[in-house]
A and B are shown apart, each in its own frame.
Chain A
Amino acid sequence: MAESEKEQGEQDEDEVEEDTPLEKKKKIFSKELRCMMYGFGDDQNPYTESVDLLEDLVIEYITEMTKKAMETGRAGRIQVEDIIFLIRKDPKKYSRVKELLLMSEELRKARKAFDEIKYATTK
């Protein structure tokens, strides 16, 4: 928690001190995050600072989860079960992960079946 506050403090300082040309840190989720924020209820054009802040939060979240997952179960590797274990207390995320994995499995089966049909008919 203290770390994230420090990071945000440093960010604020960078935004205030504009003596040297800022090397802008490459934002990797800007477009998608904007759409996501609109989808979840924000304005159609969210503030850039808000998007940047959220991106940092998301990257921090993923980093934390990844690090924790590396430690659970088989150390040094990440498996799906580790993520599910870490999520177990949060009902929203837990059910969402289960749903996603089920769906991806169904899609895989469907694609396989479709390809087999295609193979059978074109043969």
Chain B
Amino acid sequence: MSDTSPVKKKDDKGEVTASVASNSNDCSPGKRTHLDSDNEDQDKSDQDSSPSKSSVGDTPEKHKPSSDGCRTPSDSPPNKKKKSEEEEENTHAKLKKEKQEEERLKMQVLVSNFSEEQLNRYETYRRSAFPKAAIKRLMQSITGSSVSQNVVIAMSGISKVFVGEVVESALDVLEEWGDTGPLQPKHIREAVRRLKHMALIQTSKSKKVLFQ
């Protein structure tokens, strides 16, 4: 079931190829201010199409460096303000992308060093999901009206995160109580109690103490 090369595991999310996306950040530093809006648009479109292109095989990631000659900097104040805002946005977007990039590389390195058992567990973690049909049926029986596809996608995703939170908390409880082996209902119940307690504490607005 598991691949021999875990790094290249292709799932629906297309998170495989960090090398593909890493080429998209090549721009000559000197031309950054003029290129930025052009490159950002191209970056976005490249990122949008990269999951599909990675499955097809070709990834034309290079930007057209010749498109920068058209822009001339305008010195009038309103344009200058817009430019500086754009530049700020662009630097934010670039930082975000670089962070995502780094994140992907780290994951690659981590997964490539997994033992057999860890690989198995990771694969099960990624692949397990609630059946959309069952969720849809359940929600429609509650609402009485039909439910759109996106809603089902969102709800099944949230439920999986919920299960994850409960199981992880239950594993903490298991460790605290010094038990071993598979989780027992008492651990799960304690986990749910703790999570509800935390959620209650978090949702109530914390009052800042102004004067002591």
Whether chain B is bound by chain A comes out as yes
Which residues from chain A sit less than 8 Å from chain B, CB to CB? 1, 4, 8, 28-29, 32-33, 35-43, 45-47, 49-50, 53-54, 57-59, 61-63, 65-67, 70, 76-80, 83-84, 87, 89-90, 92-93, 96-97, 100-101, 103-104, 106-107, 109-111, 113-114
Residues of A within 8 A of B196 (CB): 1
Q: Are A49 and B185 in contact (CB under 8 A)?
A: yes
Q: State whether the Cβ of B65 lies closer than 8 Å to any Cβ in chain A.
A: no
Question: Could you say which of A32, A65, A77, A110 contacts B130, with CB atoms under 8 Å apart?
Answer: A32
Which residues of chain B in 126-141 are interfacial with respect to chain A, using CB atoms and an 8 Å cutoff?
126-131, 134-135, 138-139
Task: Please give the distance in Å from A33's CB to the nearest CB on chain B.
Answer: 7
Q: Please tell me the size bucket of the interface on B.
A: 35 or more
Residues of B within 8 A of A93 (CB): 157-158, 161-162
Mark B116-153 against chain A: 1 for CB-CB distance below 8 A, else 0.
00000110111111110011001100110101101101
Alpha-carbon separation in the docked complex, A59 to B155 (Å): 11
Question: Could you say which of B12, B154, B188 contacts A84, with CB atoms under 8 Å apart?
Answer: B154
Residues of A within 8 A of B165 (CB): 92
Q: Are A109 and B124 in contact (CB under 8 A)?
A: no
Residues of B within 8 A of A67 (CB): 142
